[in-house]
Amino acid sequence: MATQLKNLSDFFETTVPSAAPYRFGIVTAEWNAVITNALYEGAYQSLINHGAEPDNIYTYAVPGSFELISGADILLRNIVNLDAVICLGCVIQGETRHFDFICNAVANGLSNVGLKYNKPVIFGVLTTDNQQQAIDRAGGKHGNKGDEGAITAIKMADLADSFKR
Ligand SMILES: Nc1c(NC[C@H](O)[C@H](O)[C@H](O)CO)[nH]c(=O)[nH]c1=O
Ligand SMILES: CC(=O)[C@@H](O)COP(=O)(O)O
């Protein structure tokens, strides 16, 4: 598995721009809150560690990962000059095919929101077979996907900004 070969929290710091100039939204799903709260803490702290201003980080919660789609759209529609939106969730396989529908819908939906607003919308959603796999990726042995989401948001915001300079 790809994540087993790359810790989600390991980055070459020299490749990460400063987050200071940018404004970030973070939308976090409340389903599997123990996991998603850990993802949020990782994402928020990673933004701060790379220079983001607390006043430039706009944090919202939605009920489940499926609502991340609407949540990202609402933020980009209502908050002026957001440079990127980080969407955090944890979808764990249950007894039915609901997992497949949620995961596919969220991946496609978030991609479409990013294209709609021409803004980076970061897919920080764990899609796991079981809770242990999620724990391992929310600050456990494989790092924190929230960290990955924050670093990705910084890099994409800086890429977009580079064409305005
Ligand atoms: N089973 C999980 C869900 N299910 C809820 C959906 O995301 C959605 O809120 C509901 O279908 C109403 O629209 N959500 C997760 O984030 N994680 C799960 O494991
Ligand atoms: C991803 C889900 O919605 C899933 O966890 C719900 O569980 P179940 O498939 O057993 O209803």
ipTM of the complex: 0.97
pTM score, whole prediction? 0.96
What is the H or E stretch that residue 10 is in? none
pLDDT digits (tens, 9 = 90+) for 69-106: 999 999 999 999 999 999 999 999 999 999 999 999 99
Q: Are 59 and 87 in contact (CB under 8 A)?
A: no
Catalytic residue list contains 98: yes
Closest atom, ligand 2, to C-alpha of 95: 10
**What does the pLDDT look like over 27-76, one tens digit per residue?**
999 999 999 999 999 999 999 999 999 999 999 999 999 999 999 999 99
Select from 3.40.50.960, 3.30.390.50, 3.40.50.2000, 3.30.70.2740 the CATH code of 20-98+108-128+146-154.
Answer: 3.40.50.960
Ligand 2 centroid, distance to 92 Cα (angstroms):
7
Residues near ligand 1 with C-beta < 6 Å?
29, 31-32, 63-67, 89-92, 102
CB contact burial 42-63 (16+ within 10 A = b; e otherwise): bbbebbeebebeeebbeeebbe
